[in-house]
Structure 1
């Protein structure tokens, strides 16, 4: 899948499941639960034990698209793409990481917070900009940023949940990413993947309402 293909896929899905956990045995079943709940864009952060193996395994599934998060170096970018990652996400703007992604035709989403950082990422070639961390003003902040820069494709992650996902999309978010509000650490520690699936269904339902109203 090319970066163009991914952007089209993500623009339709409008949501990603972002798994960050230090529980190796919980990672695969947790993401499986999210997929059963309706997620089609799946991200494993490279802080997850065995993340590259998980990316390699899940990338074999034709119904989903898999990416890597917490990519901090060009070497990590290349390793993730070699494992099957279609998109790369970073908590920061690093032009070397962006360049590595572009070299491999992988979509790249650097972490940004200020309008300056968003524009910097965009000018470096990142067609998606991760909003991280989400500001207290939430969707209002995003709407204000997009006023003078409507060409940005901003994806809020941290702080997105079932009750505000629709508001983020209505404010102009390209898509939204669910992290701990989907993969609750207590659920993963308890092995309660049914709860993860329930949360996934609720999240996807909220995104669907956002698509309709956005």
Structure 2
């Protein structure tokens, strides 16, 4: 997997954000407004999942719209065609729920999904700068502490079923960052309250700061 300086910078941006906001909805119609609110609140890593209608166009629009320091990626990437289209649209990283061979050759970091210690280790050994622990809801944060005891260099991003109230616990347990979908974005990705989204996003950013203080 890529080890170029630009890709390393992207991963550091994801880790610095602490939270990756996962944008998933039937369509991407409201992602532009959601992106502005998240970034204003301090969430500077966003993932647009390709399961959304209009996802590629949304990635391109968000890349033009958001500040350069925001790490914008594509999620649910499962094929080389998905990867190429995402990168061409401006995605700076790719995320998959599983380890898909061949998605590490597009010049941007690829964060594959894994669950068992063997899967996580093999993904990291293959060069993944971050490994997505998925689904994180199936384990507790202690799982990371147990993994890091014999494997301290693993960089893991738990995703799936994490609540805002869980962020600090996961980060304190050793997560490099966490991925949050509906507990963070709520119904804002379907036209719901942006004010409520802003409150949740601020709480999430505060949880990151608290865990790292």
TM-score under structure 1 length normalisation: 0.90
Q: How does 1:55-204 map to 2 (within 5 A)?
A: 55-60=59-64, 61=66, 62-97=68-103, 101=104, 103-185=105-187, 187-189=188-190, 191-204=192-205
Partner Cα separation in structure 1 for residue 81 and residue 165 of structure 2: 37
Q: State the shift of 1:157 in Å.
A: 1.4
Gaps of 5+ in 2: none
Selected match of 2:45 from 33, 38, 41? 41
| Alignment length (residue pairs) | 207
Q: Could you say if the C-alpha distance between residues 52 and 188 of structure 1 is closer, same or farther in structure 2, counting changes exceeding 3 Å?
A: closer
Contiguous gaps of at least 5 residues in structure 1: none
Q: Give the drift of 1:11.
A: 2.8
RCO higher in structure (CA 8 A, sep ≥6): 2
Contact 2:19–2:45 (CA under 8 A) maintained in structure 1? yes
Partner of 1:20: 24
Kindly state the Cα deviation for residue 65 of structure 1 after the two structures are TM-superposed. Answer: 1.7
Indicate the RMSD between aligned Cα atoms, in angstroms. 1.6
Question: 1:56 is paired with a residue of what secondary structure?
Answer: helix
How far residue 118 of structure 1 moved from its aligned partner, in angstroms, is 0.5
**Contact preservation (8 Å) 1:95, 1:124:** no
Instruction: Point out 4+ residue stretches in structure 1 off by more than 3 angstroms.
Output: 187-190
Task: Call closer, same or farther: CA 1:53–1:108 in 2, change over 3 Å.
Answer: same
Shift in Å, 1:123: 2.3
Q: Distance in 2 between matches of 1:191 and 1:28?
A: 13
Going from structure 1 to structure 2, the CA distance change for 1:114 and 1:135 (only over 3 Å counts) comes to: farther
Which secondary structure state, in structure 2, belongs to the residue aligned with residue 67 of structure 1? strand
The change in CA–CA distance for 1:188 and 1:43 in structure 2 (over 3 A counts) is closer
